[in-house]
Every structure is written in structure tokens, then in C-alpha cells.
Amino acid sequence: MLKWFNIKTNSIWAGVLLSLRMMAGLAMQKIVAIKFGPSGTALFSHFQNLLSIFTQPLQDIIGQGLISAYSKNKFDNKPRLIGNALILGIYITVSLSVLIVIFQHTALSYFPFNSTQWLLLFLSLLLFSIQLLLANYLIAKRNLKTLSLLFLAQWFLIILLLSVPGLSIIELLFYYALIQGGFTIVYFIVIVIDYTEIRKLTFNLDAKLLHHFKQFLLIGLTIWISSKLTDYFVRDYALSNFGTSETGYWQSAARISEALKSLLISFLMMTVYPAFAAIKNKVKLQSFMKKQLTNMLLIIPLALLILYWLSPLVLQLLYSKGFSDAVPLFRLHLLGDLFALFSFPFALLLMAKVETKNYILAEGLSVLSYILIIFLLKNQDIEKIIYAYIARSFIYLICTASFSKKLLKLG
């Protein structure tokens, strides 16, 4: 009974955290748009994308590796596990910072910070990398209540920053990054008070731990290539072949799709992924998977149907009346979203059980099909990119479900 209560409570706090993230993001984008207009919004989004260069590898490689090992009790020395995760996280952040410096003429040209500000931003990034791992530690401990409260306090400070009069957009970006990094101190204090094992951290690198994280390195690089690089390549192709207007209509549909997928994957990552990693009995694992798929069958198709019917209103509310031409594209895109959303539990199962080869194969086949279909289809309209997306999502669902079958098969 107590276990059931804890699972339900954890799911509720996961929903609270996702809602807070969504509302904070919308509020900040809205305020930036009002104060600084389109150019400020563009700079703010570009700056967030710059930060995501550091956060995505940390989340996909170190964060998931930490959650997987901790949830499965794979290593007895938990302080050493956390210490090694922190060292690797800092190493990745420093390595990526070097790459940014090398390509600074293109990557940093929009942000005229002086040398002192860049140094402080670098230190903030180091602190923020530690914060991300501490957040993943709370997810592994299934303490989403504390994580939600910390997130709320952090974004309260950021919203207060936005209300300060007279700040330029560059000053706002600088202080925004400092708050993000500086708040790591609050995370650390709260976690040290609550969990004694954090006070016993050891930073001696362990070969077995490094091998464990190495498995997630391959998966993390695969996600980076299949998402960041592929999306950039296809968007560049669209701009060159269909122009800015048509590409804008397609992107309006794609961005709503990304928001839907981000919400679901974040919820599953906080609630389902730790359970997948912890459950070793195949009967229990199969039962848990069936329960997740049943819940999704009750919610997702209905939600997508509502979006289909209300697509003109949705596009008008999120964008403007000028996006009415995007309605057919958005409706077509929802079919690909249906396949993509149902593939997530299977993909997370492969990641949680460290089925690296199968996961990379699923990603590789789906991305390859995506690119090939775009170039092989004779259709000269931008719809062919959405047809390719539908095929990619369907192939990814088939691959992840097929590879998960062995993990769920009894006997």
C-alpha cells in the first residue's frame, strides 16, 4: 500500500514539475517578447540553444547513467558513483567549452560579453553542470517534490530579474546564466541536509564506473547526432528548397510536436525510466510496461484528436492568424507524433537496460530512412518532409518495440 502511494505521489509531483517548467518557459518568453521585441526573443532563444549544447550531453550521458546505476543498485559505493558522475560532467563541460572557444567567431558573435563576463559565464556553466547531475540524483531518489520546489524558487528569481527596469537584453542573458549557475549552491545545501551519502563523496575514478558511463556515451552521441545535427541538416535543406515562408509553416507544426514529445519524455524520464532500471523480474517488468501502454492508449489518441479538431485555434493562439496555411501540415504531422509518442516507453526501456547496440540501431535506421525518403520522394512540396517524419517515427516504433520484446518476453 505504501509503495503504491509513493508511486502515485511521485507521478503527481512529476506532473507538477512539468507544469512548472512549461509555465516558466512561457512566462519568460512572453516577458522577453514584450520588453525587447522580436530581436530580443531571437537572442534569448539563441542563448538558450547555446546553453543546451552543454546540457544535452550531460543529461543523455551522465544523468541517465547515474539514474540507471543508482536505481538498479548496480554499485555498492554510492558516494563514489556520484563523485565519478560529477567529475565526468565537469570534464564534458570543459571539453565543450574548448570547442565553443575554437568556433567563437560563429557561435559567440551575437553575444558581446567582455573577457570577465565570459569567465563568469564559464564558471556558471560548470556550476550548472553540477546542478543538472544533482537534479538527476533527486530523480534517482524519486524525490520529485524537493526538485519541484527548488525549480520553483530558481525560476522565481529569474522572473524577478526580468522585472528589473533598464536592463539590456545582453545584461539580462548574463544575469540569467549567473542565476542558473549560482543556484547550484542552494541545490547542494538542500541535498547535503537531506542525504548523508552526499557528505561522503569520493572522487577517485573507478574503472567499472567509467565503463558503465561509457555505455551511455554511445547512446548520448547517437541522440545528439540523430536530433541536433539531423534537424539542422533537414532545416537547412528546407530553407534552400522551399523558402522561408514554407519552412516557417512546417516549423510551426514541428515545434508544437517537439513540445508534446518533450512533455511526455520528461514525464517518463522522471517516473518510468527509474522503474525500468530498477525492475529485474521479467514478470513485473512486463506488467509495468503493459500498464504504461494502457495509460497512454487512454490519453494520447484522444489528445491528438482534440489537437486535430482545434488545430486552427491552436496555431492562432501560439503564433498568429497568418499561420492558417500551416493547418494541413500540422494535422499531417500529428500522425507522426502518434507513432513517436508510443515509441518512447520502448526506447527508454532499451536505455534503462543499457541495450546500447539495439538503441543505436533503432536510431540509425529511423534517421537513415528519414533522410533517404526526403531525397527520394519526387514531390517538390514541403509535405514530403512530414511524410518522411511519419515514416521515421513508424520505423522507430517498430524497431524499439521489436528490440524490447526480448527484454519483456517471459521464459
Contact 321, 247 (CB under 8 A): no
Does the predicted model carry a pTM greater than 0.85?
no
CA separation for the pair 33, 30 (Å, rounded): 5
Q: Which amino acid is at 4?
A: W
Q: Which pLDDT tens digits describe the chain residue by residue (411 residues)?
A: 434 444 455 567 666 666 777 677 666 756 765 676 545 654 665 577 667 767 777 776 777 777 777 766 666 667 777 777 777 777 777 776 776 666 555 555 567 788 788 888 888 888 888 788 788 778 877 777 788 888 888 888 888 887 788 888 788 888 888 888 888 888 888 887 777 666 676 777 777 777 777 777 777 777 777 776 677 677 767 767 877 667 777 777 787 787 788 778 878 877 788 788 888 888 888 888 899 899 999 999 999 999 999 988 887 776 666 667 878 999 999 999 999 999 999 998 988 887 888 988 999 999 999 999 998 887 778 889 999 999 999 999 999 999 988 888 754
Helix (H, G, I), strand (E, B) or coil at 7: helix
For the segment 46-89, what is each residue's pLDDT rounded down to a tens digit? 577 667 767 777 776 777 777 777 766 666 667 777 777 777 77
Dihedral sign of CA atoms 64, 68, 69, 73 in order: positive
Burial label for 53, CB within 10 Å (0-12, 13-18, 19+), is middle
Give just the sign of the alpha carbon dihedral 351, 356, 359, 360.
Answer: positive
Q: How far apart are CA 275 and CA 256, in angstroms?
A: 28
pLDDT of residue 2: 37
H/E run at residue 333: helix 327-352
Q: What is d(CA 312, CA 328) in angstroms, rounded to the nearest whole number?
A: 9
Nearest CA to 140 out of 16, 11, 17, 274 is that of 274
Contact 184, 131 (CB under 8 A): yes
Q: What CA–CA distances, in Å, run from 176 to 45, 125, 147, 167, 180?
A: 12, 12, 20, 12, 6
Cα 57 to chain centroid, rounded: 10
* Structure confidence by residue, pLDDT tens digits, 344-398: 999 989 888 878 889 889 999 999 999 999 988 877 788 899 999 999 999 999 9
Residues in CB range of 63: below 8 A, 6 or more apart: 132, 133, 135, 136
Q: Are 371 and 230 spatial neighbours (Cβ–Cβ below 8 Å)?
A: yes
